[in-house]
Structure 1
């Protein structure tokens, strides 16, 4: 796995996480200078004003017992380089957050895991790296197609595609 700085450069050249490596949420938040206790983080997205980074924490296989109807987002890979993602249900196209996503004015980083828990406890996320806006449909939530800078590993794509069926 190569270092993100090769992919991102600029103000994120220092970013310590490696594309296609796995990390617990707390490690990712620490790398993004999350200002509070990581255990206080419950959302699937976090925007760092300081870094101008939108980090998306995506769980592919959602269980009804762990997610409310308003958070059962349909997130899945379309291909090894394209990813379908739904914004939070309150995010509109005209909102500041929606505009940031659609305009590409922030750096979007995708962190994906198969399911919330595995045999070892809380599942780690795989860092898929930076993603750029391709297209969108809808509003509240906005369904966005992102292009990954590096194709996701074949085994993750195969597993994630099976979940999306």
Structure 2
């Protein structure tokens, strides 16, 4: 897959995609729901979530995958339906559905390849990447919901 550059790689702070009021609302929610995460880190998570969603909107079907932290940001944002729908419409011109990898299936090329595709797409879309929120994937580490996030049908248990 070839990714066309619309902006210089990694130059735009993705937090600029998020209305400041929405940013504070979402960051406060993450910090409340995840006490190990302070509001500053939560803002970084929302910024990376915005970059992930914007990159995915530019490359539908590219099989991008959020990191665990970005998935927390995405789940939090989805709970704020008006804010989320408005962001999606502005960034993508449509609602961006959260579609986890079906139970029992894996992402194309595995977690490492999905991470690389995702970071390449975010960078190519022009957004800065916060490396601390995108740790190296391992073969048993996939951020897709049915693979073990706390909101998954298997109760957060890894397969």
What TM-score does the superposition give when structure 2 sets the normalisation length? Answer: 0.29
- 1 or 2 for the larger relative contact order (CA 8 Å, sep ≥6)? 2
| The structure with more strand, counted as a fraction of residues | 1
| The structure with more helix, counted as a fraction of residues | 2
